[in-house]
Structure formats: structure tokens, C-alpha cells
Structure 1
């Protein structure tokens, strides 16, 4: 029991960290293109909204109670949102920075925008995987918990108004 709680906290911390990285880098890009039509940066706005929602939910669900496991449908939904964001960003790059998972030539200089985009795509993918792992952990926890409760024999109490005679 303590191991699943610890693993859940580690996953929530990773969700929070990955969403913060994506929100920071995407927010920096949106700040740079201020004044551009919102239709041309729609996928980046979507990514920013998903990152903000992920930050909020991971902070709320970081509290280590067993009720944090029952949110596995929301974890699965957020994971799907992250996979959509990942797909939108990969489609937007369209090979302009090379293969998405090709990390050769990546530098830490601020002038290298391909490094930033590949980092956003990578952390969006990692965030999707971590949210999916959290959903799977929650599903198995809930399934195991309900399976053990359903095998326990139910004893019925006698109603107080019935006599023994």
C-alpha cells in the first residue's frame, strides 16, 4: 500500500515538472509572437491550456490520499489531451528541425529554436506517458480494491423493529 502511494507521488511530481517545462517554453514562444493571429498559434495555445490544466490537477492530486487513485479516468483523459498536443506539435514541426526524436546537434544556446521545439515535443510526450502510467496505476488500484471488497461475505443486520420470536 505504501509503495503504490509513493509511486503515485513520484508520478504526480513528474507530471507537475513536465507540465511546467512545457508551459514555460510554450509561454515563452507565445510571448515572442505577440500580436499574431490566434488561429496561427492555436496548437500552441491548446498546449498551454493542457499544460496549465495538468499543473493544476497534479498539484491538487499530489496530496497522498487513497482518493487520488479514483481519478484514473481523468488521468486517462489528460493523457489523451497530451497525446493530441504531441501530435499537433509534431505536425507543426513537419520535419523542419529534422526528425523529432533525433537529438544530434542540440545545444543549450538561446538562438537554437529547434532545441526548444524538440524539448517541448519531448516533454509533451513524456507527460502523456506519465499521465497514462498514473491512470493505469489508479485503475489497477481501484480494481484490486473493489475485487477484495466484493469477495468479503456480507453479513446482514437484523432490523431493530423485528422481534426474535
Structure 2
């Protein structure tokens, strides 16, 4: 059945695209605030590192081999990293741009505007969901393909001795 392979490819492409969007928008913000304290930018630096690692591993694991399914623990780990990035960015916004998923009255004219921050938050969440779904598909595939088959054992035959023991 090719369904897990197709789902894996689609999820890897989505992970790659979402990580690229986050890396681009977040990188633009980091470039615009050059010279600021790295302590103040820690959340954005963390998100940029997670996005870069996600891009790298999504490209490596994009190839549809059966060995790509055994990486489900790493997929789960990346999902956790993305959920942490999402939480840090939501905490950083702290309602200064309105509710996190309120997309009304947004404009894309300013650089590093609320729309850009909300897009980074939204794509971080979507990336976390895709990595989690990829981990679930991988776990399901590994569990299905390594299941021990319980069959009745064939009777074992004793080898008949053709000689008489002297003991």
C-alpha cells in the first residue's frame, strides 16, 4: 500500500515549505533589528535555528525510502521543538498585536509588522502539526511492518539415531 509513502512525501514537503516561510520572515526581522542584544532576540534566534534544522532534515528525509519511516522519534522531537517555538513567539507577542489568530485588520505595508509576526506564529504552529503527523505516520508504519506474526509452530521432528549408544 502506497498511502503511507504518499502521506510522508506530502508531509515532508509541507514541513519544508513551512520551515522556509518561518526562516524567511523571521530572518527578515532579525536582519532589521541588527545590533540589538542577542538576549532580547533569543526567541527569534531559537526559531531561526529550529527552522534551519527543519529545512535540512526535511530535505534529507524527503526521499521516499522505507528507512525514512524509522525517524519517527526525530519527527516527534522536531514537533516538540516547533511547539516550543510557537509558545515562545505567542508569549513574546503578549497581545500587542491583538489575539494571536485574529487575522482581521492586518496590512502588509510595514516591515516587521504584526502581520509578519502572526504569520511566523501561524506557520510555526502548522509546522509543529506536520512534524507530529509525520511522527504518527512513521510510528504506525514501523508498528505495522515490524509486528511479530503469531503463527502455529510446526512440529519439530527428532532426528532418529541410526546407531546404538554404548553408554
Q: Same fold (TM over 0.5)?
A: yes
Local SS of the residue matching 1:63: coil
Structure 1 pair 112/45, CA: closer, same or farther in 2 (3 Å)? closer
- Structure 1 residues 21-52: Cα deviation after superposition (integer angstroms, max 9, x where no partner): 00000000110111111100000000000000
Structure 1 pair 87/107, CA: closer, same or farther in 2 (3 Å)? same
Structure 1 pair 56/154, CA: closer, same or farther in 2 (3 Å)? farther
Structure 2 unpaired stretches of 5+ = 162-167
Partner of 1:59: 59
| Structure with the greater alpha carbon radius of gyration | 2
Q: In structure 1, how many angstroms separate the alpha carbons of the residues matched to 2:26 and 2:47? A: 7
CA drift of 1:106 comes to: 1.8
- Structure 1 residues 36-83: Cα deviation after superposition (integer angstroms, max 9, x where no partner): 111000000000000000000000000000111100000000000000
Aligned residues: 157
Alignment of 1:1-165 (within 5 A): 1-111=1-111, 113-147=113-147, 150-151=148-149, 153=151
- Structure 1 residues 87-138: Cα deviation after superposition (integer angstroms, max 9, x where no partner): 0000000000000010101223234700000000000000000000000000
Stretch of structure 1 that moved more, 115-124 or 101-110: 101-110
Partner of 1:160: none
Partner of 2:165: none
Higher helix share: 1
The alignment's TM-score, normalised by the length of structure 2, stands at 0.89
Structure 1 unpaired stretches of 5+ = 157-162
After TM superposition, where is structure 1 displaced by more than 2 Å over at least 4 residues in a row?
107-112, 152-156
Q: In structure 1, how many angstroms separate the alpha carbons of the residues matched to 2:112 and 2:60? A: 35
Structure 1 pair 42/151, CA: closer, same or farther in 2 (3 Å)? same
